[in-house]
Amino acid sequence: MDFSLSPEQLMAQKMVRDFSQKEIAPIIKDYDRKQEPIPFMLKRMGELGILGICFPVRYGGQGMDYLSLGLACEELEALDTALRVAMSVHTGLCGMTLLQWGTAEQKRRLLTPLASGAKIGCGAFTEPGMGSDVAAMQTSARREGDVYLLNGEKMWISLAGVADYALVTARTDALAQKPSQALSTFLVDLNSPGVTRGNLHGKLGVRAGSTGWIAFQDVQVPLENRLGHEGEGFKITMSAFDHGRYTVASGATGLIRASLVASVAYAHERQAFGKAIGEYQLIQQKIAQMAQDYEVARLLYWQVGWMKNQGQRPTLQTSYAKKFATEASFEAANQAIQIYGAYGFSDEYDPERYLRNSRGAIIYEGSSEIQTLIQAGYALGEREDKPLRCELPAYDETFWQEN
Amino acid sequence: MKIVVCVKQTPDSEAKLTAQNGQPSWGDAPLVINPFDEYAVEGALQQKEAVDASVTALCIGPEAARDALKHALAMGADEAILVSDPALEELDSAGAARILAAAIQKIGDADLVFFGRQTIDNGTGLVPAQVARVLGWPLLSLVGAMTVEGAEIKVERTIEEGKQIARAKLPAVLSIMQSVGEPRYPSFMGIRKAGKATIPVWTLADLGIAAPAQAVWRAELLNPPAHDSHCEIIKADSPEAIAEALVEKILAEKVL
């Protein structure tokens, strides 16, 4: 077993870290306080290639592997969750799903502008009345000749207000016997007539990120923008979550690290009863737990990245990684606040932002409860991975890096 | 046009230097490309774009110093060369200059040699001038902006009194200031290229010179004296009594 990162992966990791530190760290608190998205964030992440890090060069990407995507997410969320959320929805949910399920023509036409960062994508699955229960989706797509007419509303969609495209799953067969056969997935141009959208405010966390709603009224979606066959939408959506959850897991790992680093620094600096608080065992216990959780979370997402590189489907392993890292990131931030004492309660310091930012990921892209059911399903033998018509291609360095 | 940019691997700029048994210790700080040299690479890459130059990064150091060269490659340098030899462990700035000059001559046909203004570890800032001296080329130090005009280069030097415009004939040696512009991030394409690059290693035998004799060496390094201060609050019944006690203390401590 080789746990070492390649020189390329190390350099990519450092590059993303330097970008976050130099360009985002000085301003993040202001934007988080104002509850405004950082205006240049997506443009810079696109220019630097971060948004397309793991896509083949021939489709506008940077030719790095899938583990590099996780490494980038860890670095981004170690600075702020808003940065990683952009990767989750643009690169994970939208881009990776196109890479897996798109035809060669669709990858050239639709993935290329996304991978190069020229266009921004998002994933639109959740609705006002439905989240975990994907088969209960109400948004409909009715085929009329060479187009589908899309009607319905999607909610809690990251980048809804700024994205050019959304990967949308909708009901195409109202009478399907199995709910899972009723859905189809489309890449929808959000500048089409009939699309309205807006931002949601008052979120607990990720306040420097954009979250919103998208409504579709008789929106014409061309047939060639349907991903996969009609009726494959449930499977495609589950694939999208495999990719999205991987980015959430690796990002949450970065958030654990951020809480750990902040806690260690403060434990050395703050004095109580005549010595640095890091010399007290009760503080050491908190820090040791964060350090251990960071290590476990990192190993779990590295395993997913490795499996993706090998062409294996890591649905179960992604579930472990996502549930563990998101819950541990909440706990790490909570304990970082405890270590900071009263200062931890103030937005002058980072831990309160870490805590607020960590909370959403325990809900979105499959709540911890859904992850538990997935894990129990595999453990009890009630669930197994059947081969998909389109699997995510294994990372092939030559294919990825050829023009 | 050919530009050679000389880089060094140094401890990270956040590393803390302490003296341990008279020797410098940087703790377990990660080693990086000398931050000032990143500006030199940036300046060289700007010229590469402006006048279609090739950029070769050159470094003296142990095997691990390859990482500093890879950073330069990932930023966009075309080639990298490492000079590494067990006999080069202890080098003063004049010795380093002789080695670099020999390597620059072996590379051949260089029009410009770029340096960062200084390194963050030894920080003498002498090497650019010494390399220019060994090569017999003009030195333009503390350069913030530059334009190549035919067989000459025009530069803007940052000096205490303000700015100075200077010209020199090529080939020339330049030391580069931060005002050249923020160093670019390595691109992913550059990172992939750097990851696969084979970096030739030249020894003293390859350069055809002997190890330069050390003329300057660091005998001992001392930590700054620790300041031990304590605070005492004088308590008395009246301001006059406090003042009297304070005067007595000041006289006793021989402050006055």
Check whether the bond before B171 is cis (ω within 30° of 0): yes
Name the residue among A7, A22, A64 with its Cβ closest to that of B70: A7
Q: Which of residues 42-71 of B touch A (CB under 8 A)?
A: 67, 70-71
Residues in chain A whose beta carbon is closer than 8 A to a beta carbon of chain B? Answer: 6-8, 11-12, 15, 18-19, 22, 48-49, 53, 62-64, 401
> Looking at residue B240, what is its pLDDT?
94
Which residue from A minimizes the CA distance to B66? A7
> Looking at residue B78, what is its pLDDT?
97
User: Residue B71's closest CA among B84, B83, B59?
Assistant: B59
Look at the alpha carbons of B57, B63, B65, B69 in this order and tell me if their dihedral is positive or negative.
positive
What is the distance in angstroms between the Cα of B184 and the nearest Cα belonging to chain A? 10
Burial B178-217 (b: 16+ CB within 10 A, else e): bebeebbbbbbebbbbbbebebeebebeebeeebbeeeee
Which residue from B minimizes the CA distance to A48? B187
**Rounded Cα gap, residues B92 and A386, in angstroms:** 66
Does position B222 have pLDDT exceeding 90, yes or no? no
DSSP structural state of residue A174: T
DSSP structural state of residue A119: S
Name the residue among A18, A63, A64 with its Cβ closest to that of B185: A18
What is the distance in angstroms between the Cα of A49 and the nearest Cα belonging to chain B? 7
Residue ranges, chain A, pLDDT below 50: none
B186–A62 C-beta distance less than 8 A:
no
A62–B194 C-beta distance less than 8 A:
no
pTM for this prediction: 0.91
pLDDT tens figures, B127-180: 999 999 999 999 999 999 999 999 999 999 988 888 999 999 999 999 999 999
Name the CATH superfamily, with its identifier, for domain A7-119: Acyl-CoA dehydrogenase/oxidase, N-terminal domain (1.10.540.10)
Q: Tell me the chain B residues in contact with residue A48 when contact means C-beta distances shorter than 8 Å.
A: 185, 187
> Looking at residue B110, what is its pLDDT?
97
B194–A64 C-beta distance less than 8 A:
no
DSSP structural state of residue A241: H
Is B192 in the A-facing interface, judged by CB distances under 8 Å?
yes
DSSP structural state of residue B120: S
> Looking at residue A177, what is its pLDDT?
82
Which residue from B minimizes the CA distance to A402? B189
Q: Tell me the chain B residues in contact with residue A22 when contact means C-beta distances shorter than 8 Å.
A: 182
**Rounded Cα gap, residues B251 and B102, in angstroms:** 64
Q: Cβ neighbours of residue A336 under 8 Å, at least 6 residues apart? A: A259, A260, A262, A263, A290, A344, A351, A354, A355
Q: Cβ neighbours of residue A312 under 8 Å, at least 6 residues apart? A: none
> Looking at residue B154, what is its pLDDT?
97
Is B107 in the A-facing interface, judged by CB distances under 8 Å?
no
Is B103 in the A-facing interface, judged by CB distances under 8 Å?
no
Q: How many pairs of residues across A and B have Cβ atoms under 8 Å apart?
A: 42
pLDDT tens figures, A302-359: 999 999 999 999 999 999 999 999 999 999 999 999 999 999 999 999 999 999 999 9
> Looking at residue A242, what is its pLDDT?
97
3-class state of residue B9 by DSSP? strand
Spatial contact of B112 and B153, defined as CB atoms under 8 Å apart: yes
> How many C-beta neighbours within 10 Å does residue A160 have?
23
Which residue from A minimizes the CA distance to B68? A11
Return the CATH fold of A122-231. Answer: Butyryl-CoA Dehydrogenase, subunit A; domain 2 (2.40.110)
B11 DSSP β-pair partners: B31
> How many C-beta neighbours within 10 Å does residue A137 have?
24
Is B74 in the A-facing interface, judged by CB distances under 8 Å?
yes
> Looking at residue B15, what is its pLDDT?
84
Does position B256 have pLDDT exceeding 80, yes or no? no
> Looking at residue B225, what is its pLDDT?
86
Which residue from B minimizes the CA distance to A51? B188
Query: What is the maximum alpha-carbon separation in chain B?
Result: 84
Q: Cβ neighbours of residue B117 under 8 Å, at least 6 residues apart? A: B36, B39, B125, B141, B142, B175, B176, B177
Is B195 in the A-facing interface, judged by CB distances under 8 Å?
yes
> Looking at residue A108, what is its pLDDT?
97
Domains by residue range for chain B, with CATH:
2-207 (3.40.50.620)
> Looking at residue B253, what is its pLDDT?
85
pLDDT band with cut points at 50, 70 and 90 for residue B10: very high
Element (H, E) at A28: helix A28-34
The separation between CA A256 and the C-alpha centre of its own chain, rounded to angstroms, equals 16
User: Residue B217's closest CA among B58, B22, B8?
Assistant: B22
Tell me the domain boundaries of chain A: 7-119, 122-231, 235-383
Q: What is the 3-state secondary structure (H, E, C) of A323-348?
A: HHHHHHHHHHHHHHHHHHHHHHHCCC
Is B117 in the A-facing interface, judged by CB distances under 8 Å?
no
B192–A48 C-beta distance less than 8 A:
no
Spatial contact of B57 and B81, defined as CB atoms under 8 Å apart: yes
Look at the alpha carbons of A325, A326, A327, A329 in this order and tell me if their dihedral is positive or negative.
positive
CA atoms within 13 Å, Cβ hemisphere of B75? 30
Q: Cβ neighbours of residue A390 under 8 Å, at least 6 residues apart? A: A100, A101, A228
Spatial contact of B93 and B127, defined as CB atoms under 8 Å apart: yes
Active-site annotation holder among A144, A365, A369, A382? A365
Active-site residue, A153 included: no
- The CATH number, out of the four listed (1.20.140.10, 3.30.420.40, 1.10.10.10, 3.40.50.720), of the domain defined by the range A235-383: 1.20.140.10
Spatial contact of A19 and A50, defined as CB atoms under 8 Å apart: yes
Is B167 in the A-facing interface, judged by CB distances under 8 Å?
no
pLDDT tens figures, B61-109: 999 999 999 999 999 999 999 999 999 988 899 999 999 999 999 999 9
What is the distance in angstroms between the Cα of A12 and the nearest Cα belonging to chain B? 7
Spatial contact of A32 and A81, defined as CB atoms under 8 Å apart: no
> Looking at residue B173, what is its pLDDT?
98
Does position B227 have pLDDT exceeding 80, yes or no? yes
Q: What is the 3-state secondary structure (H, E, C) of A282-296?
A: HHHHHHHHHHHHHHH
> Looking at residue B21, what is its pLDDT?
83
